[in-house]
């Protein structure tokens, strides 16, 4: 079931087209990453689906229904750095957030502090927290009211390695507890480690979307050489498991799914086709290469 459906969203700022007809669906229970370089339209997209901005055209719906104040209460969000009082404790800051938003009570505040592993530090001042702890408190505020969906904009932005690890672990833990999480990021490594699904944006255009293991898949690359390259290419057209074939004057490169390339089988296949290979080499295609290929970067 799709928990969010986005259809043809467009948004323009003067002469800049921030979104150019973006459409995709977010499955229920997923950790869905919206990935792209800075300026690709990620924050604009999140702002629209959270009713902060109006789209020029297009539509979106939550739970199969048009957006409404009632549905919005089922969605927790973190779009910008939260405005907490530095001299107040974590618990007191959440009390204020709860009073303003009308979400949660004392029991709920204790529960979200437990979820983000800050309960033992609930009496500590916000100013005494590390960057990672501050971000976890911001996520705790987004969790007030028990939303089934969390929308997070660059949740690890500006954090040190320890803070990044803390937030990654928290997102994975929240997903296991039944939350659907939608997060924007410009970091490929972050999406690879925590997300189940991804949509890649470039300059306001959707490049691709789907399960992470389909979109950002590692690949085996087998490089083959022979005296007659055209004959080699023709013979390899029927080789099973090939996702792509690229040739140069000297070599043919076969792209196969990760850990499926078997050089002995390829060599035997070519020999049975009357081709003696002069070159046979296995390479690995890294996720970074795949991402740069998709974004033409």
| Residue 223 sits in the same domain as residue 100 | no
The answer on 209 and 229 residing in a single domain is: no
Number of CB atoms found within 10 A of residue 192's CB: 18
Cα–Cα distance between 113 and 90 in angstroms, integer? Answer: 9
Q: How high is the pLDDT of residue 297?
A: 56
What per-residue confidence (pLDDT) applies to 293? 65
Domain shared by 200 and 237, yes or no = no
One digit per residue, the tens of pLDDT, for the chain of length 297 reads 789 999 999 999 999 999 999 999 999 999 999 998 888 999 999 999 999 999 999 999 999 898 888 888 889 999 877 789 999 999 999 999 988 888 878 889 999 999 999 999 999 999 999 988 999 999 999 999 889 999 999 998 888 888 888 899 999 999 999 999 999 998 888 888 899 999 999 999 998 898 887 777 667 888 999 999 999 999 998 898 888 888 888 899 888 877 778 899 999 999 999 999 999 988 765 566 667 766 765
Check whether residue 112 and residue 235 sit in a common domain.
no
β-sheet with 75-78: strand ranges across? 75-78, 149-153, 180-185, 31-35, 197-202, 205-211
What CA–CA distance (Å, rounded) separates 186 from 188? 6
Give residue 288's pLDDT: 64
Is residue 44 located within the same domain as residue 118? yes
For 73, the domain range is 2-215
Supply the pLDDT for residue 278: 92
Q: What pLDDT, on a 0 to 100 scale, did the predictor assign at position 244?
A: 83
Contacts of 114 (CB under 8 A, 6+ apart): none
Write down the pLDDT at residue 160. 86
Domains contained in the chain, number: 2
pLDDT for 80: 74
Q: Are 259 and 220 in contact (CB under 8 A)?
A: yes
pLDDT at 287: 61
Residues 50 and 102 in one domain: yes
Specify whether the CB–CB gap between 19 and 9 falls below 8 A. Answer: yes
Residues 91 and 175 in one domain: yes
CATH of the domain at 95: 3.40.50.300
Cα–Cα distance, 65 to 117 (Å, whole number): 34
Q: To 10 degrees, the CA torsion angle through 144, 150, 156, 158?
A: -60
Q: What is the 3-state secondary structure (H, E, C) of the chain?
A: CEEEEEEEEEEEECCEEEEEEEEEEEECCCEEEEECCCCCCHHHHHHHHCCCCCCCEEEEEECCEECCHHHHCCEEEECCCCCCCCCCEHHHHHHHHHHHHCCCCHHHHHHHHHHCCCHHHCCCEHHHCCHHHHHHHHHHHHHCCCCCEEEEECCCCCCCHHHHHHHHHHHHHHHHCCCEEEEEECCHHHHHHHCCEEEEEECCEEEEEEEHHHHCCCEEEEEEECCCHHHHHHHHCCCCCEEEEEECCCCEEEEEECCCCCHHHHHHHHHHCCCCCCEEEEEEECHHHHHHHHHCC
Q: Are residues 13 and 118 in the same domain?
A: yes
Same domain? For 223 and 209 the reply is: no
With 0-12 / 13-18 / 19 or more C-beta atoms within 10 angstroms meaning exposed / middle / buried, residue 18 is buried
Could you tell me which of 133, 143, 155, 146 has the C-alpha nearest to residue 89? 133
Residues 255-280 as b/e (b if ≥16 CB within 10 A, e otherwise) read bbeeeebeeeebeebbeeeebebeee
pTM: 0.77
255, 184: one domain: no
Same domain, 109 and 223: no
């Amino acid at each position: 079931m799709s928990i969010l459906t986005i259809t043809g969203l467009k948004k323009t700022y003067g002469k800049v087209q921030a979104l150019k007809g973006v459409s995709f669906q977010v499955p229920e229970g997923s950790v869905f990453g919206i990935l792209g370089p800075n300026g690709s339209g990620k924050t604009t997209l999140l702002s629209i689906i959270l009713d902060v901005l109006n789209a020029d055209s297009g539509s979106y719906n939550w739970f199969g229904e048009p957006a409404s104040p009632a549905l919005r209460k089922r969605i927790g969000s973190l779009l910008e750095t939260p405005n907490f009082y530095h001299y107040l404790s974590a618990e007191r800051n959440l009390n204020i957030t709860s009073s303003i938003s009308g979400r949660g009570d004392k029991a709920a505040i204790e529960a979200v502090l437990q979820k983000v592993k800050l309960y033992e530090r609930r009496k500590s001042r916000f100013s005494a927290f590390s960057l990672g702890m501050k971000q976890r408190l911001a996520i705790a505020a987004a969790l007030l009211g028990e939303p089934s969906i969390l929308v997070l904009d660059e949740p690890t932005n500006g954090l040190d390695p320890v803070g990044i690890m803390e937030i990654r672990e928290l997102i994975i833990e929240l997903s296991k507890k039944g939350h659907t999480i939608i997060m924007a990021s410009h970091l490929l490594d972050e999406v690879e480690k925590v997300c189940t699904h991804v949509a890649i944006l470039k300059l306001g255009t959707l490049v691709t979307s789907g399960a992470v293991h389909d979109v950002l898949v590692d690949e085996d690359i087998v490089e083959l050489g022979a005296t007659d390259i055209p004959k080699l290419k023709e013979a390899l057209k029927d080789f099973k498991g090939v996702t792509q074939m690229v040739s140069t004057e000297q070599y043919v490169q076969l792209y196969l799914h990760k850990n499926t390339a078997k050089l002995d089988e390829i060599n035997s296949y070519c020999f049975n086709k009357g081709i003696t290979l002069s070159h046979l080499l296995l390479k690995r295609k890294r996720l970074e290469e795949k991402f740069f290929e998709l974004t033409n970067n």
